[in-house]
A and B are shown apart, each in its own frame.
Chain A
Amino acid sequence: DTEVTQTPKHLVMGMTNKKSLKCEQHMGHRAMYWYKQKAKKPPELMFVYSYEKLSINESVPSRFSPECPNSSLLNLHLHALQPEDSALYLCASSQGRRSYNSPLHFGNGTRLTVT
């Protein structure tokens, strides 16, 4: 069983919809990540939160809005998405603060389809 939980597992949304992806971890990790993964490609980093503060934004379009309400929760708010945003969205956590020996622990992902 994964220790990082993502909901929903699948999401289909129209281009005018607003939806949110949720991620939760209870490992005491202080860094949380959103990655986007297209088919047959490696995960691409979108955002990093370190100690509940946004530390990295990889020039992601504003139609993706991350939120970290507390150290265990990470949300990704979606609005006015495009069909090319369809992908697997992976949440991950790690100990954070330059813990080189702390691997990312991934959730099972949300498979998003934008119609």
Chain B
Amino acid sequence: AQKITQTQPGMFVQEKEAVTLDCTYDTSDQSYGLFWYKQPSSGEMIFLIYQGSYDEQNATEGRYSLNFQKARKSANLVISASQLGDSAMYFCAMMRRDDKIIFGKGTRLHILP
């Protein structure tokens, strides 16, 4: 069965430190896409970063980077120089061939001043 696993229900990080949010996935598909979303307490889902299964380079978007290790089926999100506004729920997600996107259970990130 295809699934996404996020093993950290909650994390506390000091402001300005880097933080890594873990994500592992399970699929038998050769082609798939991996995404990270941020959901603040206001509820909107904000797209952060994408990694394709055939991409050889790790994706980067500003302070966000995705540490993609295909053989280990992991797609960890790294946030550099964390800010108070980064406090939110973070979801790892995978798109399958049938346009279905499945989400992990999420990690609640708290940035401490």
Contact = CB atoms under 8 A, between A and B. Distances in A.
Contact of A106 (B45, B50, B97): B45
The range of chain A's interface size is: 20 to 34
A98 B35 contact: no
Nearest to B53: A100
B99 A48 contact: yes
A105 B103 contact: no
Contacts of A59: none
Given A42-B104, A55-B98, A100-B52, A109 B43 contact: yes
Interface string A84-105: 0000101010101110111111
Interface of A: 2, 31, 33, 41-43, 45, 48, 50, 55-56, 88, 90, 92, 94, 96-98, 100-109, 111
Interface of B: 31-33, 35, 37, 42-47, 50, 52-53, 91, 93, 95, 97-106
